[in-house]
């Protein structure tokens, strides 16, 4: 359709309220969360590319499938955000995080941040920005927006790609700052203080985290989203892992700015428990497998955090196609040592790379390139499967076939 009409995206977006979601990790999940929480006035359905087709052709398809004037929530590849924004004139730009992804594509992450900053500088006044204040590259890019930015303390646990200040190249330091609200620790406090506060600043030029407008507070099992302006709302997130709490917070901030009430939006967010097959549990042989997608080091750190408690068995599967990055070296930045004591299979087309990583991490394991065979070999009721992009897609497409060994 793009070939027929280069303006297709622009035409299909005309008259709609459009939110664009971008970032290295969490795009698909945040898009689904936001689409579910968005207020719809006259019952017009929300158009969205839930399945993650995030280049212009995929966006055109998503809009064409739900033609009309209904709102749209679109995830957009980080490198395409500028072009897409120029065509659709979005109401909201949701900027999640930037860290390194496919190593061999040499989209140096700083270069992407620079392009986002140029985009923000040129934004029309009708577009507002919701940005992760905890990610230095994102905050630097978003700060260039003329309009009001909603700063969300949305976490940035992965810091290896942000050592240099995006403004001056100076050294960034991370750590505790003044509490965000009196009486609370600020940020997402975890038992044992495992996570830092998201504050950061440059030792050189003084660039620092913008004061967050919205953050999470945890009291026992209860999670609340707190606005600097005063309101707070209980937040329940059904998706596993720390990163999804932050994705939900970004979606909440955006939905509220687009006119949703906070309690309604929070209620809708709680209903999302699966995203394009991710986090879903599928039957496999005699048991079941929980499927987790992790595409890059930052994503793997979060995924290992979502595993069922040890010693639950785990299959880790990687491929190295173009979409995955053809260089597998990144697996050495992920703390696979944490898998010690579990039953582990190394799997995927590059199972041997994973096997060597596990070998040096002193993780006893077996090798089975076929991921479903590995799951079946576990002979366990519940297996967690973590896979990178194309390995995950292969798994999902085969899930439609009879489970291995199942009677025909």
Partner 1 sequence: MTVSVALVYPDLLGTYGDGGNATVLVQRLAWRGIEARLVPVLSSGQLPSSCDFYVIGGGEDQPQSMAADLMASGRRLERAVGNGAVVLAVCAGLQLLGQSFEANDGRPRPGLGLLDCVTSRSERARAVGELLVQPGPEWGEGLDLVTGFENHQGRTELGKRSRPVGQVLRGVGNGDGGLEGAVSGRVWGTYMHGPVLARNPKLADLLLSWVVGPLAPVDDARPTALHDERTGSALAEAVSKGGARGWAEWAERGRRAWGAVRERW
Q: Exposed/middle/buried for 396, CB within 10 Å: 0-12, 13-18, 19+?
A: middle
Q: Is 110 in the site for partner 1 (CB under 8 A)?
A: yes
**396: contact with partner 1 by CB under 8 A:** no
Structure token digits, residue 351: 């199972």
37 binding partner 1? (CB under 8 A): no
Structure tokens at 274: 């699966």
CB of 187 to partner 1, least distance (A): 22
Write each residue from 322 to 361 as x if it is in contact with partner 1 (CB under 8 A), else as -, in one continuous string: ----xxxxxxxx------------------xx-xxx-xxx
**Nearest-approach distance from CB 273 to partner 1, in angstroms:** 33
Q: Within a 10 A sphere around the Cβ of 324, how many other Cβ atoms?
A: 26
Question: Residue count at the site for partner 1 (CB under 8 A)?
Answer: 33
Alpha-helical (H) ranges within 69-108 are 81-88
Between CA 249 and CA 266 the distance in angstroms is 9
- Least distance to partner 1, CB of residue 357, Å: 7
Q: Cβ 283 to partner 1, closest distance in Å?
A: 32
Q: How far is the CB of 155 from partner 1 (least distance, A)?
A: 19
**Binding residue (CB under 8 A) for partner 1 from 42, 43, 67, 106:** 106
- 3-state SS of 157-200? CCCCCCCECCCCCCEEEECCCCCCCCCCCCCCCCHHHCCCCCCE
User: HSE on the CB side for 39, CA within 13 Å?
Assistant: 13
370 binds partner 1 (CB under 8 A): no
Query: Going residue by residue from 165 to 204, which x/- string records binding to partner 1, judged by CB under 8 A?
Result: ----x-x-x-------------------------------
Q: What is the DSSP letter of 293?
A: E
Q: What whole-number distance in Å separates Cα of residue 261 and Cα of residue 256?
A: 6
Question: What does the DSSP 8-state code read for residue 240?
Answer: -
Residue 328: CB minimum distance to partner 1, A = 8
Contact residues for partner 1 (CB under 8 A)?
100, 103-104, 106, 108-110, 159-161, 163-164, 169, 171, 173, 326-333, 352-353, 355-357, 359-362, 367
């Amino acid at each position: 359709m793009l070939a027929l009409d280069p303006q297709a995206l622009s035409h299909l977006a005309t008259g709609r309220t459009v939110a664009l979601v971008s970032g290295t990790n969490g795009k698909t999940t945040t898009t689904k969360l936001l689409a579910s929480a968005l207020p719809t006035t006259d019952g017009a359905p929300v158009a969205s590319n839930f399945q993650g087709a995030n280049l212009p052709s995929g966006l055109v398809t998503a809009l064409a499938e739900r033609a009309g004037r209904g709102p749209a929530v679109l995830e957009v590849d980080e490198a395409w955000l500028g072009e897409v924004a120029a065509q659709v004139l979005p109401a909201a730009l949701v900027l999640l995080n930037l860290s390194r992804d496919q190593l061999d594509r040499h989209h140096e992450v700083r270069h992407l941040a620079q392009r986002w900053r140029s985009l923000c500088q040129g934004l029309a006044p009708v577009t507002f920005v919701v940005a992760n204040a905890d990610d230095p590259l994102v905050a630097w890019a978003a700060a260039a927006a003329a309009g009001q930015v909603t700063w969300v303390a949305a976490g940035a646990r992965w810091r290896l790609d942000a050592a240099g200040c995006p403004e001056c190249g100076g050294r960034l330091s991370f750590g505790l700052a003044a509490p965000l609200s009196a009486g609370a620790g600020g940020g997402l406090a975890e038992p044992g203080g495992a996570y830092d506060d998201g504050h950061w600043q440059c030792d050189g030029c003084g660039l620092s985290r913008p004061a967050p407008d919205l953050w999470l507070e945890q009291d026992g099992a209860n999670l609340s989203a707190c606005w600097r302006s005063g309101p707070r709302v209980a937040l329940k997130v059904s998706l596993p892992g720390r990163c999804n709490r932050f994705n939900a917070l970004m979606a909440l901030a955006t939905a509220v700015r687009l006119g949703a009430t906070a309690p309604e939006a929070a209620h809708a967010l709680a209903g999302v428990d699966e995203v394009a097959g991710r986090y879903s549990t599928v039957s496999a042989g005699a048991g079941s497998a929980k499927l987790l997608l992790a595409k890059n080091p930052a994503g793997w750190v979060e995924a290992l955090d979502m595993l069922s408690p040890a010693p639950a068995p785990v299959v880790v599967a990687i491929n190295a196609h173009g979409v995955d990055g053809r260089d597998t070296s990144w697996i050495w930045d992920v703390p696979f040592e944490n898998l010690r004591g579990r039953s582990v299979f190394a799997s995927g087309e590059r199972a041997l790379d994973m096997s060597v990583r596990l070998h040096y991490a002193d993780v006893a394991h077996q090798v089975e390139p076929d991921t479903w065979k590995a799951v079946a070999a576990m002979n366990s009721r519940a297996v967690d499967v973590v896979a990178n992009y194309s390995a995950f897609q292969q798994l999902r497409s085969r899930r439609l076939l009879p489970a291995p060994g199942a009677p025909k």
